Chains A and B, each alone.
Chain A
Amino acid sequence: MSQSIVEVKDVTFSRGDRVIYKNMSFSVPRGKITAIMGPSGIGKTTMLRLIGGQLRPDSGDITFMGSSVPAMSRSELYQARKQMSMLFQSGALFTDMSVFDNVAFPLREHTQLSEDLIRLIVLMKLQAVGLRGARSLMPAELSGGMARRAALARAIALDPELIMYDEPFAGQDPISMGVLVRMIKSLNEVLGLSSLIVTHDVTEVLSIADHVVIIAEQGVIGSGSPEQMLAHSSPLVQQFLQGLSDGPVPFHFKAAPYEQELLDGGL
């Protein structure tokens, strides 16, 4: 069995004239927590959509459990997606269903299990995220953190091999953030799955990640363990990890010299 659950090989992807990635390669080790980090707008969520087969690269290949995702037919892709799941930034719970029905949804769609068995599985998944008591609430009645935990319960309903988290900590209060961080870590250990987290919350993700990939300038600028990344020599990696306002990514948008522009005002 391959050591990597996902391999991204020489991927180039553009939106219109804008090149997002150019010959980018990295791998996601099996059974580990991998963090993809990088500045906003660099295309981190796009990478998750490429792995999930919602987008196709212009060139290069992406494999999931050894099979090429871009080469899959629609039915093969749907079969592969039963083994991966994604936690969207908004949670993406179905607003017309209760928490229970949201978690039961993939089981009802993809299995022939009886309602009694589905009830047991849903209660177990909700217990794992601490929301067993909230099963009859509607998504509109949940706080942001609870909605994300409910979505996490839905994401693990079919016991996938890979979970992809899209900005799981964005907009969370410190308590919810701490809960989510511990939950991602413990689910990864207990269920033996692989996790891929896209985020720019450096402190939180470095505390649980086994492997870190930092994306910028259309490619990978650094990858390795959190310790290796913290000691990385690249100024861009250091600027991002330390949250410095100026550096290779300038604070000021490109403009004419400041003094010249002030004096040109005619004072």
Chain B
Amino acid sequence: MDFLQKLGHKTLSRFASIGRATQMLLGALLNVPNLRQGTPLLIKQLYMVGHQSLLIIMVSGLFIGMVLALQGYTVLVGYGAEDSLGPLVALSLLRELGPVVTALLFAGRAGSALTAEIGLMKATEQLSSLEMMAVDPLKRVVAPRFWAGFISMPLLALIFSAVAIIGAHLVGVDWLGVDSGSFWSIMQSQVSLQQDIMNGLIKSFVFALIVTWIALYKGYDCIPTSEGISKATTETVVHSSLAVLGFDFVLTAVMFSS
């Protein structure tokens, strides 16, 4: 009986939490800030969320591309198919690794920062003071951060894939001696704009929505204490990462299973 009660209570609080998160997202999306006030806020957040994540994305992309080329070459050379290294690397990156690894890195770098920032604004009564100044915190604080995350993550994923392909070229062509012409030409013929690049981009937009939404909600709904903020920040990274991996499987099944 006790178990059933606990299960019921947990289920209800989970649904209530989803309801509050949806309410927050709709509040942020429907309260569109005007152009004069909203643009500078969005640009600032694009810098904080997007530009500040650039270094970790580029460095990770470079190394992942290099490792991918090294591993791919080792397998392909056994079949005399090392010329296919270009498409192998490009397809892995554009379809999967680009969107997924970028989303995971984004959750760790920008998502946790968003949660901690909003949680701290709540703890220091900055959100309450906005409300008391007749300024909607969803419009002023949440909306620009949401749009900044939604816009910047797909761009970061494209940059990640581009830098990773350069890293793969460095290892595969410049170091291991794969023919440069084959590397690029087979890649060009095998990679489809619609099937690979666009689908990868759609995945990235979905992951951007999920990660940014979770990060903002966890900060907005956290218990305003140091322990509460710490818990919310951890939950942002864990929940975002799991959600990204889960949705990746679903999206891959829908996009590529046929």
Contacts and interface: CB of A to CB of B under 8 A. Distances in A.
Contacts of A79: 134
A90 B132 contact: no
B126 A92 contact: yes
A90 B136 CA distance: 20
Contacts of A88: 125, 128-129
B46 to A, nearest CB: 15
B: interface residue count bin: 10 to 19
Contacts of A105: 133
A106 B125 contact: no
A81 B134 contact: yes
A52 B131 CA distance: 9
Given A82-B134, A93-B126, 18 more contacts: A54-B128, A78-B134, A81-B132, A81-B134, A85-B132, A88-B125, A89-B125, A92-B128, A92-B129, A94-B126, A95-B124, A95-B126, A106-B135, A108-B37, A109-B37, A109-B134, A109-B135, A110-B134
A110 B132 CA distance: 13
Nearest to B136: A78
Q: Which of A52, A92, A93 has the most CB of B within 10 A?
A: A92
Interface of A: 52, 54, 78-79, 81-82, 84-86, 88-90, 92-95, 105-106, 108-110
Contacts of B126: 92-95
B131 to A, nearest CB: 6
Q: What are the nearest 4 A-B pairs in CB distance?
A: A92-B129, A92-B125, A81-B134, A78-B134
B216 to A, nearest CB: 17
Given A92-B124, A94-B126, A54 B132 contact: yes
Interface in B126-168: 126, 128-129, 131-136
B133 A81 contact: yes
Nearest to B123: A90
Given A89-B125, A92-B125, A95-B124, A52 B132 contact: yes
Interface in B106-126: 124-126
A84 B133 CA distance: 8
